[in-house]
Amino acid sequence: MQIITQENQKELKEHGNYAFPVHISLERIQSYEKGVFLWHWHPEVELTLVLSGEIEYQVDANTYILSAGEGLFCNSNSLHSGHMHEGKDCTYLSITFHPRFLYGYENSILQTKYVSHITSNELWSSLLLTPAVSWHKQIIDDIRTIYKLSQESPTDLELQIHIQLLNIWHKVYHHFSTQPDNEQKPKQHLQRLRDILLFIEEHYNQEISLEDVAKRANICKSECCRFFKKQMGMTIFDYILYLRIQNSLPLLKEKDSITEVAAMVGFSSPSYYSQIFKRYMKCTPMEYKK
């Protein structure tokens, strides 16, 4: 399984529908290729609750190691990715919902005062939820209740889920509304990271130089290397290779020629592609196809 995105890394998957923009699911990190879902974003807010195991979850520049019983609030339009932590599987609940589900119609006071106030602030991209904090635990319990409702499917399912999400939002709103200076501009480094990731996503199957990436970020090459390694935990070159391998996986299922697949994702030779593929996937491309 993979996260399917547009070139700007916006996820293409629908989270519910216009009439009921809520998606509730039970997930396993191991179901994704190599236990990773890559960087993406969506306009929906996402609530995560770990049921078993651990997951390394990144939102913008923040990295969390979530264990069983802990959760995470991921704000609208925030870049995020998830990784298997230390080879352990992880089962977790995921609830995504569009902010309009909370406020009803555009420019209502519910939107302008209570929702956009939070969703438009990139400084509030995420919030760790731990059961040791009483109001966090209440949100965690609400997430469990929403999942239980989705399984039982009562006749007033949509209404009950709406009430639970409003309860959660009420707590989140009170937390963020007490934070200092909510009019701050988004941090420059978050936009810089978005620009770099977008550039790599657009050109991963071409020859990319460090100079090209640094120019896109408007910084020198040495600073670009330091910045990316600090934010992503890997070098730019390693990320490009990893992205190429990940994007080659669905092609291997469609194409007969390994050479063709290697060229499509930016490798100069099939032998080098096979070498890098085995490094990341612990098998050869042909073994993966079989």
Q: What is the pLDDT of residues 91-145, one digit of tens each?
A: 999 999 999 999 988 888 999 999 988 988 878 889 999 999 999 999 999 999 9
Structure tokens at 79: 């870049």
pLDDT class for 7, splitting at 50, 70, 90? very low
Given this model, what pLDDT does residue 171 score?
Answer: 96
Collapsing DSSP to helix, strand or coil, 225 comes out as helix
What is the fold of 188-289?
Arc Repressor Mutant, subunit A (1.10.10)
Collapsing DSSP to helix, strand or coil, 60 comes out as coil
Please, are residues 39 and 162 in contact by the beta-carbon 8 Å criterion? no
Reported pTM: 0.67
Given this model, what pLDDT does residue 152 score?
Answer: 96
Report the helix count and the strand count for the chain, using DSSP H and E: 12, 8
Residue 21 has φ and ψ, to the nearest 5°, of: -80, 60
pLDDT beyond 60 at 10? no
DSSP label at residue 84:
E
Give the Cβ contact number of residue 60 at 10 Å.
Answer: 23
Given this model, what pLDDT does residue 9 score?
Answer: 46
Given this model, what pLDDT does residue 8 score?
Answer: 47
Angstrom distance (rounded) from CA 276 to CA 51: 34
Given this model, what pLDDT does residue 109 score?
Answer: 92
pLDDT beyond 60 at 193? yes
Structure tokens at 182: 């909510």
Q: pLDDT by residue (tens digit) across 65-101? A: 999 999 999 999 888 888 888 778 899 999 999 999 9
Instruction: Determine the average pLDDT of the residues in 151-160.
Output: 96
pLDDT class for 187, splitting at 50, 70, 90? low
Please, are residues 43 and 169 in contact by the beta-carbon 8 Å criterion? no
What residue spans define the domains of the chain? 22-177, 188-289
What is the fold of 22-177?
Jelly Rolls (2.60.120)
